[in-house]
Amino acid sequence: MRKHATFVYSNALLGYHFHEDHPFNQKRVLLSKELLENKNTLEESDIVFPRSATDEELALFHSWEYIEAVKKASSGSLEEHEGIAYGLGTEDTPIFNQMHEAASNLVGGTLTAVDQVLEGKSKQALHLGGGLHHGFQQRAAGFCIYNDGAVAIKYIREKYDLKVLYVDTDAHHGDGVQWAFYDDPNVCTFSIHETGRYLFPGTGDINERGIREGYGYSFNLPIDAFTQDESFIEVYETALKEITEYFQPDIILTQNGADGHCFDPLTHLCGTMKIYEIIPMMAQEMANQYTNGKWIALGGGGYDMWRVAPRAWAQVWNVMKTGKPAEGTLPYEWVEKWESQAPVELPKYWHDVIDAIPTIPRKKEITEKNKQTLNALLKHTRQNVKQ
């Protein structure tokens, strides 16, 4: 029997762990899963265990030379100077034991989600362990060893021959996926992110539009630092609707970074949980309208792992499973279990309370600037339609 939604998870996903002080901590995935279980929207029958990606699958995007370097790093046999050339052993992406196996599990989880949907076992699928969008063909970057999104899109193109719309709402530009398909007219990438003037990786300008046959299929919406909910939602909804209508995808793949929240320690956007209700609702609306519901969602960034990532990611599943985000108080059992371990006071509600939201004196200026950026993006889109 075909399920409406599949949740891809196993404890093996928690093995992607650099060190205790590193901001990228996959315990976020466990916190999200248990929040959903306590909410009673995630049941055992919803969960599918991920497989590990094969080397041949990794090589759909990554070079064999790079894969071998990651394997050597995993066993401690990669020289320091060799590692730096591959982005391994840096402050962002330090080497850890069995990193090849751990990263292959994340990629395999995303491929499991793809097959669940495209083999007709499930209408939609969520893999919170994925979304590592900064990995390049032969270089790690930004906490990302293998780029599961890029591998998955290559896999979809080769195995299923479908047009893929990739939507990235991480506060950091989805650079690795964009460059992987920069010349491919069958893959449309759309990233809304904090402007690269202030934030890693420094790319994602509105004029990055693709090359050769892929020209006109790369879209970037760089929004200003300190952007709040109203402006984010306005420009995002407008752009997503127009881009989806323009591209007419067969399947939608979303990367759901949760680092655009005002609590996030690594970015400068000032969103609240409101944007993390709208993002999955919009993804589902577009999927229902254009792809017969086929939607695969991944995790991504999100560095307030106690207050933000579990709620934001849980809302993706809530929308998939029930058609709407959760409201009201968080499950008491979840708060009680984790509050003794958390270094901050845990939230009590799915939404943010008003006194948690900062006042931004430049709000009007930021909103107008984001509208100008949106208008420039839509001008490009409309020119493409005319052509």
**SS3 label, residue 144:** strand
The DSSP symbol for 62 reads: S
- DSSP E strand stretches across 224-345: 251-255, 295-298
Which residue is associated with the tokens 């254009």? 290
Measured in whole angstroms, the distance separating CA 270 from the mean position of its chain's CA atoms is 18
The residue range of the domain holding 178 is: 3-386
The question of whether 134 is a catalytic residue gets the answer yes
Which residues have C-beta within 8 Å of that of residue 75, sequence separation ≥ 6? none
Tens digit of each residue's pLDDT (9 = 90 or more) over 69-119:
999 999 989 988 889 999 999 999 999 999 999 999 999 999 999 999 999
Residue 332 pLDDT: 96
| Residue 325 predicted with pLDDT over 70 | yes
Region 199-226 average pLDDT:
96
Q: Cβ of 369: how many Cβ atoms within 10 Å?
A: 16
Q: Residue 98 carries which side chain, given as an amino acid letter?
A: Q
Residue 39 above 90 pLDDT?
A: yes
User: Of 61-65, 110-114, 351-355, where does mean pLDDT reach its minimum?
Assistant: 351-355
Cβ–Cβ under 8 Å, residues 297 and 254: yes
Q: Count up the domains in the chain and report the number.
A: 1
Helix (H, G, I), strand (E, B) or coil at 3: strand
pLDDT at 386 over 60: no
Q: Indicate the burial class of 51 (C-beta count within 10 angstroms; 0-12, 13-18, 19 or more).
A: middle
List, as one string, the DSSP characters of 207-259. T----GGGTT-EEEEEEPTT--HHHHHHHHHHHHHHHHHHH--SEEEEE----
Beta carbons of 50 and 129 less than 8 angstroms apart: yes
For the cut 90, the answer to whether the pLDDT of residue 361 exceeds it is: no
Average pLDDT on 30-58 reads 97
Asked if the model's pLDDT at residue 385 lies above 60, the reply is no
Length of the chain: 387
CATH at residue 158? 3.40.800.20
For residue 144, the cross-strand partners are 141
pLDDT at 273 over 70: yes
Distance linking the first and last C-alpha atoms of the chain: 44
pLDDT of residue 358: 84
CA dist., res. 47 & res. 28, Å (int) = 17
Cis peptide bond N-terminal to 361, omega within 30? no
Mean pLDDT, to the nearest integer, of 319-348?
96
The per-residue pLDDT for 384 is 61
- Helices 99-118 & 148-159, crossing angle to 10 degrees? 40
Residue partners of 314: CB distance under 8 A and separation at least 6 = 32, 35, 36, 39, 41, 326
User: Which of 62, 134, 193, 261 is an active site residue?
Assistant: 134
Q: What is the mean pLDDT of the chain?
A: 95
For the entire predicted model, the pTM comes to 0.96
Residues above pLDDT 90, as percent of the chain? 92
